Amino acid sequence: MDTELTIWPAPAKLNLFLHIIGQRADGYHNLQSLFQLLDYSDSLQIKVDNSSDIRVSANVNDIPLEENIIYKAGKLLQETTGTTKGCHIQLDKKLPMGGGLGGGSSNAATTLIALNQLWDLGLTQTQLQQLGLRLGADVPIFVFGQNAFAEGVGEQLSAVNLPEHYFLVVNPGVHVSTQKVFQHPDLPRNTARIDKETYSFLNSHNDCQKLVCEMYPNIAKTLGWLLQYAPSRMTGTGSCLFSIYNDKKAAEETLKKLPDGCTGFVAKGVNKSPLLDTLKQLKDK
């Protein structure tokens, strides 16, 4: 087996809007959202072997292996296919944890796609999306690898092409519990459906934003600051916020003025995940 080290991106996403249509009997929420992929990523270095072990290390505080979503993704592939191959995965983390950018879900999706290829498992993209859903509601979008209008719990995906804007993404330095937000009694749960053909940023919103801003005043304060410069919104359940720019330089100028306690980056919106480009390059070798 070729045990060459390979490097795979795990890109960020934004929810350009998030409408909560209703709550299901199983407690999950039916949503509508528009996923925008960014050219800003975590990075996974993967080296495969015949050990049957999955080893994960990272440049951030370690969490127990059994709770690591990268490890869970690898184990799920082993259990599904019966493969006895193993690997070592080194995570270079750039995306903030708990920020609504999909970092953990993207790490899991990259693990599924990369190991499916490197372990020569032959699972289809649809099969990988189905496995991904067992790991988290946002994992399928990263396996899908394209900007998408999403429904259901976020797993019903329709590809869309979006203008390649620049985004200023700001982390207010607060960790938001997605579970607490979705369990909160004041969360809106009856927003009317919209058609993807009639979507615009102005006729959409994030149903979690008002509640999260009430729960975390610093998020509200930072959002108010951003709105001085460009159309802005919270992504997912937060805590990260984004502003939309046509001009990269203007986004970078605002980045320089970030309030104390905030961090951020400027990224370009892309219509195709850099993960799929990496996969194609490896297949074409």
Q: For the residues of 26-84, what is the DSSP string, one character each?
A: TS-EEEEEEEEEEEEEEEEEEEEESS--EEEEESS----GGG-HHHHHHHHHHHHH---
Within a 10 A sphere around the Cβ of 48, how many other Cβ atoms?
22
Q: Candidates 3.40.50.300, 3.10.560.10, 3.30.230.10, 3.40.50.20; correct CATH number of 6-160?
A: 3.30.230.10
3 state DSSP class of 139: helix
Name the one residue in this structure whose structure tokens are 């720019």. 245
69-81 and 125-135 helices, crossing angle to 10°: 130
3 state DSSP class of 86: strand
CATH 3.30.230.10 in the chain is located at 6-160
Strand partners for 46: 6, 89
Residue 138 annotated to the active site: yes
Q: What is the mean pLDDT of residues 32-37?
A: 97
Q: Between residues 266 and 97, which one has the greater pLDDT?
A: 266
Ramachandran sector of residue 126 (left: φ over 0; alpha: ψ -120 to 50; beta: rest)? alpha
Task: Report the predicted TM-score, pTM, of the whole model to 2 decimal places.
Answer: 0.94
CA atoms within 13 A of residue 194's CA, in its CB half-sphere: 21
Query: Which 8-state DSSP code applies to residue 203?
Result: T
Name the one residue in this structure whose structure tokens are 């960790």. 175
- What is the structure's pLDDT at 97? 82
Residue 13 annotated to the active site: yes
Share of the chain above pLDDT 90, in %: 86
Based on the number of CB atoms within 10 Å of its own CB, is 149 exposed (0-12), middle (13-18) or buried (19 or more)?
buried
Which residue of the set 85, 138, 283, 284 is catalytic? 138
- What is the structure's pLDDT at 51? 93
Mean pLDDT of the chain: 95
Q: In this structure, what token pair is assigned to residue 252?
A: 């970078």
Residue 86 pLDDT exceeds 50: yes
What tens digit of pLDDT does each residue of 107-148 get? Answer: 999 999 999 999 999 999 999 999 999 999 899 999 999 999
One-letter amino acid identity for 177?
Answer: S
Q: Candidates 3.40.50.740, 3.20.20.70, 3.30.70.100, 3.30.70.890; correct CATH number of 166-270?
A: 3.30.70.890
- What is the structure's pLDDT at 1? 44
CATH 3.30.70.890 in the chain is located at 166-270
> CB neighbours of 119 closer than 8 A, spacing ≥ 6?
48, 77, 81, 83, 85, 87
Are the beta carbons of 240 and 100 closer than 8 angstroms? yes
274-283 and 103-118 helices, crossing angle to 10°: 10
H or E segment to which residue 10 belongs? strand 6-23
Which residue of the set 13, 42, 72, 85 is catalytic? 13
Query: Which 8-state DSSP code applies to residue 95?
Result: S
What tens digit of pLDDT does each residue of 138-169 get? Answer: 999 999 999 999 999 888 999 999 999 999 99
